[in-house]
Amino acid sequence: MKYYITTFIFILTISLGYSQTSPEDKLGAWYTYFGNHRISNKLSIVAGGQIWAFEPATNLNLFLAKVGINYHINNKLKVELGYSFLDIDRSIQHVEGSHVFENRISEQIAFKHKLSNFPIDHRFRVEHRFFNSRARNSIKHRLRYRLGTKVKLNKTLFIRINNEVLSTIEDDFSSANRFYTALGINLSKSCNLQLGYLNRYLFKKDINLHRLQVGLFIKTDHRKG
């Protein structure tokens, strides 16, 4: 276990050190909270949000609030219909019409299985994005595919790793890639905290961004009465 933790900290330290060479020359951060609430054998509700910052405590980039409903086909497969509201500020990047509001509708399929006793999870999402700004209004559609795993170290600690490809249809499928790795801490049976690193590469602009990631995730089960 000590070997896994030491290796994770070593990789994270290198990544954060390298982040100072990013185009923004700042170490940004993403703060995440999501809750998954099971209300029946077939249905669950997800709700939460994210805050992105160009620096850990300043220069707000994005606020996202999301709600969705999942239909569980079986223990390994589920589908989701979601809605998100986003408040995006790109003024630090000197973008024309930098303040944008977005309403987003999404459909999602999530599937998990084991490969030689190694847990694997897949997530495929389609997003319909409605942008509203002073400059103009627009609609874009995006495809997202995420492949991930969760490796348990003991009852308290785990490592989470995933990679996601995002493709905007209107931009000739050129969009972004997100690689994420984190050390997870089970605070209780229904709650975990993840501290990690996210690399966000924007293909069209050839921008490589490095972000601290702090996430709190909660699961509740209301079928028990």
Share of the chain above pLDDT 70, in %: 84
Q: What domains, with CATH codes, occur in the chain? A: 2-224 (2.40.160)
Q: Mean pLDDT throughout 42-70?
A: 91
pLDDT at 11 over 70: no
Tell me the pLDDT tens digit for each residue of 180-225.
999 999 999 999 999 999 999 988 878 888 899 999 999 999 987 5
Place of tokens 């601290």: 212
pLDDT at 23 over 50: no
CA distance 48 to 40: 20
Q: Mean pLDDT throughout 129-158?
A: 93
Average of per-residue pLDDT values in the chain? 86
CA distance 134 to 73: 43
How many residues make up the chain in this entry? 225
CA distance 94 to 99: 11
pLDDT given at position 19: 40
pLDDT at 7 over 50: no
pLDDT given at position 225: 57
Instruction: Enter the pTM of the model.
Output: 0.85
Residue 174 CB contacts under 8 Å (≥ 6 apart), including other chains: 167, 168, 203, 204
CA distance 171 to 194: 33
CA distance 220 to 190: 6
Q: Mean pLDDT throughout 42-50?
A: 97
pLDDT given at position 60: 83
pLDDT given at position 92: 56
pLDDT at 3 over 80: no
Using DSSP's 3-state secondary structure scheme, residue 2 falls into helix
Q: What is the DSSP letter of 75?
A: S
pLDDT given at position 177: 95
CA distance 66 to 83: 6
Tell me the pLDDT tens digit for each residue of 60-119.
889 999 999 999 999 999 999 999 999 998 765 545 557 899 999 999 999 999 998 889
pLDDT given at position 134: 81
Mean pLDDT comparison of 1-10, 63-72, 128-137, highest-scoring range: 63-72
pLDDT given at position 16: 45
